[in-house]
Chains A and B, each alone.
Chain A
């Protein structure tokens, strides 16, 4: 192997490694949020307010 061929192999391996690291970084890049967006719809069931129920003491602790 000539010196030129050796340098070419080292350079190729380096480029492949750099591309791999960049791909991995992009894959795991996590954007940070200071808050959550307000969802427009509720995923469960929505029912009307019950005035009598609201005026009663809650059965829950707290």
Chain B
């Protein structure tokens, strides 16, 4: 019997013995099964700034897990070796949700990230882990492309503390041609998370000639400002030639700097540049008095001057989760 997966906007119709577009939701004897449940292929302790998250428990370590599989197939994927891998060919750890909690505690992490591939497709594993992580007093972070239907997203948001969403472009055509997806569900993902009180940060990977035009960057920044608020942190990320996009050069530093200038001119308060060692663009400043609040180098926090989440000089409350 054919089954339909209603987890993501692809609504895959899956024949017996076959998988959905994500490779990991399989029709086994007429029943939809999550074959990577409890079997992450990657588990590491990362600095939280690597997610990227600059306004959520800065300077802390985060236990980060991922199973293979993804519902997007970005030609430029930097993690394609696990995101596009078939579970049959994969190597994984046996790590039930309770073990995720145990490992996070053992490695002295205060939060757990569901990252590297996309937690949308290993939804049941991420949800059950989030519930147990929350019960243990730790925090949950999703690092995602945001391609998930609203109903499962709302359920997940009940136990998620922060999310960093990769907004790949403000063009439906880009999503269709480069990622094999569509734009509208991703925008809705942002709005739903924000409306449910989840801490939201956005990232945008700038790929030379594909999504780096000034007008596109401005449109993306305006959408964030109008729909999520000017306090939403935005990270511009440098592209490197990977997977099926090795013919393009890395994003020039000048493009990233210009994108940051555009975002700040639009009125976003916190704009960062990732994958590039640059002190100025990784520093958090008070949007009111421009006092330096948090200094970083790479993924390492050097100094945090915030007092109870506020600027020590003008007392402005800074958007984020600080303890």
A34's nearest neighbour on chain B, judged by CB, is B6
- A36 touching B32, Cβ below 8 Å: yes
Is A38 part of the contact surface with B, judged by Cβ < 8 Å? yes
- B78 touching A36, Cβ below 8 Å: no
Residues of A within 8 A of B33 (CB): 36-39
- B28 touching A60, Cβ below 8 Å: no
Q: Assign chain B's interface to a size class.
A: 35 or more
Provide the bound-state CA to CA distance between A11 and B139, in Å. Answer: 67
Is B13 part of the contact surface with A, judged by Cβ < 8 Å? yes
Provided the pairs A31-B1, A44-B92, A58-B116 are in contact, do residues A39 and B37 lie with their beta carbons within 8 angstroms?
yes
Is B25 part of the contact surface with A, judged by Cβ < 8 Å? yes
Identify A62's interface contact among B47, B51, B95, CB under 8 A: B51
- B45 touching A54, Cβ below 8 Å: yes
Task: State which of B82-90, B167-175, B285-293, B304-312 sits at the interface with chain A.
Answer: B82-90
Provide the bound-state CA to CA distance between A59 and B66, in Å. Answer: 12
How many residues on A have C-beta within 8 angstroms of the other chain's C-beta atoms?
Answer: 27
A42's nearest neighbour on chain B, judged by CB, is B39
In the complex, the number of residue pairs spanning A and B with C-beta atoms less than 8 Å apart equals 127
A35's nearest neighbour on chain B, judged by CB, is B124
Main secondary structure of the interface of A (DSSP, over half): loop
Provide the bound-state CA to CA distance between A61 and B5, in Å. Answer: 28
Give the shortest distance, in Å, between B124 (CB) and chain A (any CB).
6
Is A4 part of the contact surface with B, judged by Cβ < 8 Å? no
- B115 touching A33, Cβ below 8 Å: no
Residues of A within 8 A of B115 (CB): 60, 62
Identify A46's interface contact among B31, B66, B82, B92, CB under 8 A: B92
Task: Annotate B111-135 by CB proximity to A: 1 below 8 A, 0 otherwise.
Answer: 0010110000001110000000000
Residues of B within 8 A of A53 (CB): 43-44
What are 8 A-B residue pairs whose CB atoms fall within 8 Å in the complex?
A30-B13, A32-B4, A37-B34, A46-B92, A54-B103, A57-B45, A58-B46, A60-B42
A-B complex: 3 closest residue pairs judged by Cβ atoms: A58-B44, A44-B90, A36-B34
Give residues in B with beta carbon < 8 Å to A.
1-7, 13, 25-26, 28, 31-39, 42-47, 50-51, 64, 66, 68, 78-79, 82, 87-95, 103, 107, 113, 115-116, 123-125, 143, 151-152
Give residues in A with beta carbon < 8 Å to B.
30-39, 42-49, 53-58, 60-62
